[in-house]
Structure 1
Amino acid sequence: MGENLSVRRFRPANASRVRTLHEAAMRDIGAYIEDVPDDDLENVTETFLERDGEFLVGEVDGRIVAMGGFQLLKGDHYITNFLPELPETTVVLTRMRVDPAHQRQGYGQRIYEALEKRARNRGYTTIVLDTMASQAAARGLYETNGFEKVGRERLEVFDDDFEMYVYRKSL
């Protein structure tokens, strides 16, 4: 599965498509919030690539249909509330998205595998992430890849109430 997906590093020319893909994927699960800026996706190069992180896109027939990235964990990230003793070599996996029309083809798995490989090659030792409880497919992907659920938090954002799960994996 996922054989026809070409995975490569984000380029600035991909910015618009990445934002569109994010919106489509989040709308598909009922989690898109209108008029809330996604600063990291507005500045992928600065947020991810220039700060010891990574951001990958997956293409089928020249069209970006999958994406994901990781960032070096900062001490003020809310995940440290659940895992205060994380090593300095910890990254946060984020923005894993697959276009709704291309899901269930192994594309999320391919993006994840490429990100994990790059994290290992750079000497990172731990990956953490959060995902909504309602995202069963995402949770399945992470659990299949050896992530352990280590925390749970109920959040209210812009009058929406939802449950987040926190995961951790040692590399």
Structure 2
Amino acid sequence: MENDPRIRRYRPEDGDQVRELHETAMRDAGVYVDTASDTDLERVFETYVDGDGEFLVSELDGSIVAMGGFRPVEETDYIAKIVPDLMDGAVELTRMRVDPDYQRRGYGRRIYEELEWRARLQATPQIVLDTMAKQTAARRLYEAQGFEEVHRERIEGFDDPFELLVYRKPLVDDG
């Protein structure tokens, strides 16, 4: 039995486990929305890896226990419209999930650190992300990694309105 999970790039055969982990983690956090679009999770390789991004999984004893990815921010993306002074070439961190049975062991932090390292290798100037205000564990992780909250708004378009927070972290000195 392994003690530490192995972080590796997503493979197409990971699809079912990745979608299951997403739903499990979001339900556990009380933020799963049935009507939210998850088309990127149906086409992970095309959306992230083929699209100049990255998607990593953390595997332990044959099971995926954590995941996360990033992709370039397009000017038509919602986040591009609300992040002040968004740098060209910025990426959006997304789909950071840890299986509830494996939380608080540093797996999410390790996935994030590997993603940031890979973003830096691509000369990415800035990482942005959004999360719900009630996802306090995620917010603690991002803030501990140097992210700064830059936008907050109430989203009313769902059965259960929520507060959305947007964070960013520069990876290069823009001065």
Shorter-chain TM-score bucket reads over 0.9
Look up the match of 2:142: 142
SS at 1:141's partner residue? helix
SS at 1:51's partner residue? coil
Residue 36 of structure 1: how far off its partner (Å): 4.3
Residue 157 of structure 1: how far off its partner (Å): 3.5
Q: Distance in 2 between matches of 1:154 and 1:165?
A: 9
Runs of 5+ consecutive residues of structure 1 not aligned to the other structure: none
Look up the match of 1:88: 88
Look up the match of 1:105: 105
Q: How big is each residue's C-alpha offset from its partner over 1:36-91, in whole Å with a ceiling of 9 and x where there is no partner?
A: 44100010011111110000000111210000000100101112232253122100
Look up the match of 2:79: 79
Look up the match of 2:151: 151
* Partners of 2:48 and 2:70 within 8 A in 1: yes
Residue 35 of structure 1: how far off its partner (Å): 5.1
Look up the match of 2:115: 115
* Partners of 2:55 and 2:67 within 8 A in 1: yes
TM-score normalised to the size of structure 2? 0.93
SS at 2:109's partner residue? helix
Runs of 5+ consecutive residues of structure 2 not aligned to the other structure: none
Mapped pair 1:55 → 2:55: yes
* Partners of 2:83 and 2:166 within 8 A in 1: no
Q: Distance in 1 between matches of 2:66 and 2:157?
A: 26
SS at 1:130's partner residue? strand
Amino acid at match of 2:69: G
Q: Distance in 2 between matches of 1:37 and 1:75?
A: 19
Residue 34 of structure 1: how far off its partner (Å): 2.4
Matches within 5 A, 1:34-53: 34=34, 36-53=36-53
TM-score normalised to the size of structure 1? 0.95
Q: Distance in 2 between matches of 1:114 and 1:76?
A: 27
Runs of 4+ in structure 1 over 3 Å off: none
